[in-house]
Amino acid sequence: MLIFVSGEDIALSKADAIVNASNGVGYMGGKSGIIKRRSGVAESIHYISHGAVEKLAKADCRKKGLFGYAPGKVFITPAPNLNTKYVIHAVTMRFPGSKARLKTIRKLIPEIISLAAYYDFKTVALPLLGTGTGRLSKSDVLQIYKDLLPNDKTDFIIYSQF
């Protein structure tokens, strides 16, 4: 089932997992992002987790080499200091600040569904991937969600704002 939420911070979600629109190197805001909360999903997760999720994400990305994960890939980390158990990092762009592509979002959704099934998640909090820093149209991303997200086993909670 798709559940829509507006005006709430996804980083405070109690879903089994939160999806983070990630870059391939795991950067989520750096040292300054722990001190001052910035807008964006990754930044909010970074701030609330006191940098713990970024540390795990960067370590995972370094294992993949100099350029980390390619767009369209997903990886999962624990979610210390958050209300959720896991963060699914959906790589929408190779490097921080890059533009996202709709074809990458179409590639990510089946990967997220697969991870949710593998971990037997009942609920997954999902932002509109690529619509912040990635500069994609919210309506285009929402249409991809409506087309590709299943209406069975896992409830996908769609956050239109972080």
Instruction: Give the range of the structural domain holding residue 59, as residue numbers without chain letter.
Output: 2-159
**What are the C-alpha distances in Å from 44 to residues 29, 123, 133?**
9, 20, 14
Q: pLDDT of 93-114, one tens digit each?
A: 999 999 999 999 999 999 999 9
Whole-model pTM?
0.95
Q: Which residues pair with 76 in a beta bridge?
A: 88
Q: pLDDT of 115-150, one tens digit each?
A: 999 999 999 999 999 999 899 999 999 999 999 998
CATH number at residue 68: 3.40.220.10
CB-based contacts of 138: which residues, under 8 Å, 6+ apart? 128, 131, 160
How far apart, in whole angstroms, are the C-alpha atoms of residue 22 and residue 92?
A: 6
Domain count, the chain: 1
